[in-house]
A and B are shown apart, each in its own frame.
Chain A
Amino acid sequence: MSSFSSERTSDKISPMEIKSISRGAAEFQRYLLGHKEDDFRALPIRSLNVGTDQEMITYRIVKKNQIHRPPFYYLALLKPRVLLVALLPLFFLLKMFLHTHSPLPLSSTIGAALGVLFGVLAGSLKNDFTDYISGLDRLLPEELQRPIQKGWATPWKVLRISQVLLVLSLLCAIPVVLQFPNILFILALGGTMALWTQVRNQDDFKFSLRGEFAISFLFGPILSLGFWNALSGETYRAPVFAFGLMWGLFVHFLIHLQNFSNAMLASQFKLKNTMTRLGFDRSRWFLPSWFFLCLIVYMIFEIYFGSVFFAEVGAALFIPPLIYFSNLLRKLKSPLSSGYLRASQTGYTLLLLFEFYLFARSFF
Chain B
Amino acid sequence: MIKEFKIYDEQDFPAYLPKLNSLFDDLFTGGKGFRAKLIRMMAENLNIPDKTELLLAQTIEFIHNASLLHDDLIDRSQLRRGKTSAWLKYTPEYAVLAGDYLLARVMVNLSSFGNIQLVQFTSQTISDLLEGEWLQDSIVGDFFVNMEQLDRIHNLKTASLFKWCLRAPFLALNKNDEGLHHLLEEMGTLLGQLFQRSDDLLDYDIRNDEGKTILGDLKSGYLNSFGAFVCQRKSRREIDQIVKSKDLNDFYQNLGGKKIFDEKVRDFDGINQELIQLYQHHLESLENRLEKSEKKLLPMLSPLTDILYWRKVGAR
Contact = CB atoms under 8 A, between A and B. Distances in A.
A49 interface: yes
> Which secondary structure dominates where chain A touches chain B?
loop
A25 B132 CA distance: 36
Interface string B89-115: 000000000000000000000000000
Q: Which has the most chain B C-beta neighbours within 10 Å: A22, A264, A336?
A: A336
How many A residues touch the partner, as a band? 20 to 34
Nearest to A332: B138
Contacts, number: 96
Contact of B139 (A10, A48, A58, A336): A336
B270 A46 contact: no
A334 interface: yes
A57 to B, nearest CB: 12
Given A334-B135, A336-B153, A5 B209 contact: yes
Contacts of A143: 146, 148
B123 interface: no
14 contacts: A4-B262, A4-B265, A10-B310, A13-B273, A18-B281, A20-B282, A48-B183, A54-B182, A58-B281, A143-B146, A334-B135, A334-B138, A336-B138, A338-B149
Interface residues of B, number: 41
Interface string A16-31: 1010101000000000
A333 B135 CA distance: 9
B312 A8 contact: yes
A66 interface: no
A6 to B, nearest CB: 9
A292 B288 CA distance: 57
Contact of A13 (B135, B178, B262, B269): B269
Nearest to B141: A333
A54 B179 contact: yes
* Residue with the highest number of chain B CB atoms closer than 10 Å, among A5, A7, A52, A338: A338
Contacts of A339: 142, 144
Contacts of A56: 179, 182-183, 285
Interface in A122-163: 141-143
Contacts of B310: 8, 10
Given A2-B207, A4-B262, A49-B179, A336 B312 contact: no
Contact of B144 (A8, A46, A338): A338
Contact of A336 (B152, B179, B207, B269): B152
A5 B312 CA distance: 10
B202 to A, nearest CB: 8
B152 to A, nearest CB: 6
Given A48-B182, A143-B148, A336-B152, A7 B269 contact: yes
Contacts of B285: 20, 56
A138 to B, nearest CB: 14
Given A13-B273, A48-B182, A56-B179, 7 more contacts: A3-B206, A8-B311, A10-B276, A54-B179, A264-B152, A336-B145, A337-B139
A4 B144 contact: no
Contacts of B278: 18, 45-46, 58
Interface in B264-316: 265-266, 269-270, 273-274, 276-278, 281-282, 285, 306, 310-312
